[in-house]
Amino acid sequence: MKLYLDLCALKRPFDHQTQDRIIAETQAVLSILDRIESGIDSMVWSTALTLENDADPDLEARKEVARYAVRAVAIEMLSPKIEKRIREFAAAGLAALDAAHLAFAESAGCDVLVTCDDRFLRGSKRTDCSIRVLRPEEYGCENDSE
């Protein structure tokens, strides 16, 4: 599968592991990253991920997440077509960065976008994008049999 993980998902392992949901999402994200490292899945990176990650004040987390970019099979750059889709997704109610992540994932031909953001999950259902937007555990459950 070709995956796009938004920054919320990529940063989940750096969150305080005090809630059951955060622990479960962290384990699922780490499992997804293992699948990417072993070549079972592939990951797409975007300039939106770089921009958002570069704004993170946590230097250690920022450095670690930046290393994920080298695991990517493609790095999507902003184009007029992507800009148009960002505007369309934002008009459907997505936050600007969420709209950007979805547009980049769509442009790269991703099968799934993984996020821990409930608002993004709900908002993605109001768009005309065919990419499945899933929580990390949902993606992991689909692929447990492999």
Mean of per-residue pLDDT scores for the chain: 94
Q: What local confidence, expressed as pLDDT, does residue 114 receive?
A: 98
- The pair of three-digit structure tokens given for residue 75, joined into one six-digit string: 């790095």
Q: Looking at the DSSP assignment, which residues form a beta bridge with residue 42?
A: 2
Annotated domain spans of the chain: 2-142
Quote the pTM value: 0.93
| 144 band by pLDDT with thresholds 50, 70 and 90 | low
Domain spanning 2-142, CATH class: alpha beta
Q: Identify the pLDDT of residue 74.
A: 86
What pLDDT, in 10s, does the model give residues 57-78? 999 999 999 999 988 998 989 9
CA–CA separation, 21 and 118 (whole Å): 12
